[in-house]
Amino acid sequence: MLEGFSAGLYYGRSLQFKLNCIIEENISEIDETLAMILDPDMRQLDVYPMGYPDVDLDSIDQDWLMENL
């Protein structure tokens, strides 16, 4: 929450806005770098692991909404 009319508060908000713009412009590169850190082999998950439940989550959500709302 901003209180008062301090130049420091405005300057801080200005820096925050500039930083957010820089992050937004480079988000795909940031995402790729984080993915390489987490998994250097850059493996892709094409199929679900063995024993992973293969259910239609949308229909389960819809059923729940119809029953509870």
Give me the domain span that covers residue 17: 1-44
CA–CA distance, 17 with 21 (Å, rounded to integer)? 6
CA–CA distance, 16 with 10 (Å, rounded to integer)? 10
Residue 59 lies in a domain: no
Residue 28 lies in a domain: yes
Which residue stretches of 1-69 are H helix?
A: 7-25, 27-38, 57-68
pTM of the model as a whole: 0.49
Tens digits of per-residue pLDDT, 4-63? 668 888 888 999 999 999 999 999 999 999 999 999 998 887 787 788 888 889 999 999
Residue 55 lies in a domain: no
**What does the pLDDT read at residue 4?**
61
CA–CA distance, 55 with 68 (Å, rounded to integer)? 20
Residue 58 lies in a domain: no
* Count of structural domains, the chain: 1
CA distances from 68 to 30, 56, 62, 64 (A): 40, 19, 10, 6
Tens digits of per-residue pLDDT, 25-37? 999 999 999 999 9
